[in-house]
Amino acid sequence: MTLPSPSPTPAGMLLREWRTARRLSQLALALDAGLSPRHLSCIETGKAQPSRGMLARLADALDMPLRERNALLVAAGYAPSYPETALGTPALAQIRRAIEFTLAQQEPYPAFLLDRHWDVLAANDAAQRVNRFVMHGRASAHANMLRQFFDPADLRPAVANWEEVAGELIRHLHNAVAAAPSDAKARALLEEVLAYPEVPPRWRSREPGAAASPLLTTVLRRDGHELRFFSTITTFGTPRDVTLDELHIECCFPVDDATARLCRQLAQEDAEAPAA
């Protein structure tokens, strides 16, 4: 009697999905993780049960985020390894102070704290001043940076080089979706922003290997004034918590003296304004 072939386990299916997303063959991933291609094939098809250590080696080779590593462990029947601590809890008080210090130090230039879906979790006063200035005193309707840039009723009309900036944001979002195949929220966000008016149809397809701009300048414009910024991204090194793994701080720096002067002017006007 022929025994039925084992069905792929949830962990095996996840590994194959991630390997495909990373464009790796079984041989390439096996070599990177230090196991035989046959053993990897058995894990993917459900013929072999991987140990926690083996899953950790495969996750390292696939460069999986901590949230996805937890999902892989759970799919294999193990407890997750990495906690997910709310940013407002006492355990992360020092991290919050570091974030607040970084945002404050960036004054009078904008800085934002964002999560992996580009939700703006915090921003310094400069970010709010610049937004109010270019949006004629209106507040943004969105707490998500991608929605702000793509919504014609939000920040988008103030971005003089919108197609260049939005195209780079779409490239990053496509890469995020490809890098985390199980991230339904990122995939839904991609579909949402692509549905906004006058988004070029070519942006619906990812361009694998497309080179990133070495220095992308965002140009904001209002009534003959221009603000030109480039950004740097700060992340937390070797995080052991899912929350920290998914946070980054974006700091905007003036490209020219005119932008620096206008930012200082806006800060001075804000300081001199009578209290409400």
Q: Where are the domains of the chain?
A: 10-75, 90-159+211-272
| The CATH number of domain 90-159+211-272 is 3.30.450.180 | yes
121's enclosing H/E stretch is strand 120-123
Structural domain 10-75, CATH architecture: Orthogonal Bundle (1.10)
What stretches in the chain show pLDDT beneath 50? Answer: 1-5
Tokens of 253: 């720096």
Output DSSP code: residue 155.
Answer: T
Output DSSP code: residue 88.
Answer: T
Tokens of 125: 């006063």
Give the three-state DSSP class for 250: strand
Q: Kindly list the distances between the CA atom of residue 156 and the CA atoms of 139, 152, 186, 215, in Å, as whole numbers in the listed order.
A: 13, 5, 21, 20
Which pLDDT score, from 0 to 100, does residue 4 have?
44
Specify whether the CB–CB gap between 42 and 58 falls below 8 A: no
61: buried, middle or exposed (CB in 10 Å: 19+, 13-18, 0-12)? buried
Output DSSP code: residue 92.
Answer: G
Which string of DSSP letters, residue by residue, matches 163-229?
HHHHHHHHHHHHHHHHH-TT-HHHHHHHHHHHTSTT--GGGGS--TTPPPPSSPPEEEEETTEEEEE
Which pLDDT score, from 0 to 100, does residue 78 have?
96
Tokens of 106: 């960036």
CA atoms within 13 A on the CB side of 67: 16
Amino acid letter, 92? L
User: For residue 205, what are the contacts with CB-CB under 8 A and spacing of at least 6?
Assistant: none
Taking each helix axis as running N to C, give the angle between helix 37-45 and helix 10-21, from 0 to 180 degrees, rounded to the nearest 10: 120
Output DSSP code: residue 76.
Answer: T
Which pLDDT score, from 0 to 100, does residue 1 have?
39
